[in-house]
Structure 1
Amino acid sequence: MNGPSVSVVFVCHDGAGRVLLARRAAGARDEPGTWDCGAGALEFGETFEAAVAREVREEYRAEALEVETAGVRNVLRPGSHWVAVVFRVRVDPAAVAIGEPHKFDRLDWFTPDALPTPQHSQLAPTLALAR
């Protein structure tokens, strides 16, 4: 059995109360059709901040303008164990575009009181930590 993997999870926001969410495409690793924030695996030798900046560029084609650590989650799911380091990341809404169409088929901005459904199983606890 392998040990846990480390991921960076990022809740992108516009600095004015809205969060950016992506709808997982049919080719997504899990839970296609659900809305989620961004995430990616930490690569060997990479700092958390470098991983966040890289993943935001890859997934959303935007630069991470402000990166703030929100906390850590232990994510146990059937067949996987992730240590998720969660960040709040400000991005420029005008710069955002889908960077990985095989993973996401839609991006949109939402206020915390009007989130879309269905949601990825890990979105609610991540947003609760990032608030």
Structure 2
Amino acid sequence: MAVDPRVDPAVSVVFVCHDGHGRVLLARRGAGARDEPGTWDTGAGALEHGESFADAVRREVREEYTADALDVETIDVRNVLRAGSHWVAVLNAVRVDPEAAAIGEPHKFDELGWFPLDALPSPLHSQLPATIEAFARWVRSNG
């Protein structure tokens, strides 16, 4: 499926869900995913008009993973330029209860898994390495 072409920059909230004990939650993108089906990725979604970053993250985590965001912290912002689109990605670290996580959007994802940062599955979504690098920096700085 083609990437949604955007002329003007749009804002997305990207979130790395973690369990607070070194594992991150990744979803394998299914056949109905917007791009790169079959790859593993964190969650993300577009910021809606009037919504705060944290509220957008909480909404998206519930939609994608059926879990409540227990802690939300913005950890990075970056420009993502791909195939005619420009997204301003606001990256967040989000602690969730692993027992509460499930696939909330089966038309987009076909598998979930918890992984330590040094044992991620493959193949990875093309944007995931930069996201994981920023998350790893945040983990190191928060001891």
The TM-score bracket by the shorter chain reads over 0.9
Match in the other structure for 2:87:
82
Q: Deviations over 1:9-65 (max 9, x none)?
A: 000000000000000001100000000000000000000000000000000000000
Any residues of structure 2 matched to 1:1-131 within 5 Å, and which? 2-131=7-136
What amino acid is the match of 2:50? G
| TM-fit CA distance, 1:95 | 0.2
Q: Which 5+ residue runs of structure 1 have no aligned equivalent?
A: none
Q: Aligned partners of 1:55, 1:83: CA distance in 2, in Å? A: 16
Q: Aligned partners of 1:45, 1:54: CA distance in 2, in Å? A: 13
Aligned-pair identity (%): 73
Q: Aligned partners of 1:113, 1:130: CA distance in 2, in Å? A: 13
Q: Aligned partners of 2:118, 2:7: CA distance in 1, in Å? A: 39
| TM-fit CA distance, 1:73 | 1.1
Q: Aligned partners of 1:17, 1:66: CA distance in 2, in Å? A: 15
Q: Aligned partners of 1:2, 1:73: CA distance in 2, in Å? A: 17
Q: Aligned partners of 1:105, 1:85: CA distance in 2, in Å? A: 25
Say if 2:7 and 2:84, in contact at 8 Å, map to a contact too: no
Q: Aligned partners of 1:123, 1:114: CA distance in 2, in Å? A: 14
Q: Aligned partners of 1:113, 1:126: CA distance in 2, in Å? A: 14
| TM-fit CA distance, 1:130 | 1.5
For normalisation by structure 1, the TM-score amounts to 0.98
For normalisation by structure 2, the TM-score amounts to 0.90
SS of the residue corresponding to residue 110 of structure 1 reads strand
Say if 2:7 and 2:86, in contact at 8 Å, map to a contact too: no
